[in-house]
Amino acid sequence: MRIAFMGTPDFAATALNALVQAGHQVAAVYTQPPRPANRGRLTPSAVQLRAEALGLNVRTPASLKGEAEQAAFAALDLDYAVVAAYGLLLPKAVLEAPRHGCLNIHASLLPRWRGAAPIQRAILAGDSETGVAIMQMERGLDTGPVRLEGRMPIGRETTGELTVALAEMGARLMLEVLADLPGHPPVPQPEQGVTYAHKIDKAESRIDWSLPARQIDRLVRAMQPSPGAWFDSGGSRVKLIAAEPAPGGGAPGTLIGDSVAATGGGGMAATGDGALRLLTVQPEGKPRMAAADWLRGRRLQPGEPL
């Protein structure tokens, strides 16, 4: 197949690698322009870095709405465009330019979690499984028919861990579809069960200790590695990198159990229902550390607020 690849983060770079290794002709790679990172320095996307390493033609338009960009895309004379977490809306002219349209690797079991943050939303909601849909794109938000689907259970993975697993699954499923298009006809999505995975707002990452432990645990895993779930302690922000539900109770947000200083243990925080064992934290301006070490430094006693 002669294709254009359109994607931006590491999730998409996995699929780009697979397409090149499978021998598909990648006429151009579209990715979002470099963004400020690393103390404001403009940084290329993971897809741009991988595409350049592979010697591919890279294009980084800020938008695809202009006639010149659309004409340049059409001039590629494509069989398909393969899209994975690109981050830009594809206008009608772009969707219709390839002979067989555009295929999207979407990290959810459509129609559940259409939209920008399907992996985080699945973890936050406590879903028992997730997966990947290879979708024939149309103008609606992730409304197109699905050619192939893969499923996997959700255990105690973080967003980062699930992203790696789903990226590998998506790359494999996309190759299956491209290898046998007639064998994977597009099937319309069900009308029932539609949910939307709205983009994560940083305000959502603050921990509310009055919530149940199991819900806070999901928040910690969903916000890892970015933006990171956090709470305020002594006037500074502390990210909670890893934790797990545990039996116990007390005033929400207080330390419970034996004194960490006396036992050398990890320490638990009371929540609105149950407790949360703190495993790894990152105090503001400091590297990650064992929660027990941080608690000993804070000299907190049982019953005191974190």
Distances in whole angstroms, Cα of residue 182 to Cα of each of 157, 186, 233, 241, 264: 35, 9, 58, 46, 62
> What are the φ/ψ torsions at residue 111 (nearest 5 degrees)?
-90, 10
Looking at beta carbons, which pairs linking 47-54 to residues 24 or more positions away fall under 8 Å?
47/5, 47/7, 47/8, 47/9, 47/12, 47/13, 47/16, 49/13, 50/13, 50/16, 50/17, 51/5, 51/16, 54/16, 54/17, 54/20, 54/26
Residue ranges at the known binding site: 108-111
Question: What's the sign of the alpha-carbon dihedral 122, 188, 144, 25?
Answer: positive
As a whole number of angstroms, the distance between CA 256 and CA 242 comes to: 18
Residue ranges at the known binding site for (6S)-5,6,7,8-tetrahydrofolate: 108-111
Angle between the N-to-C axes of helices 10-21 and 159-179, in degrees from 0 to 180, rounded to the nearest 10? 30
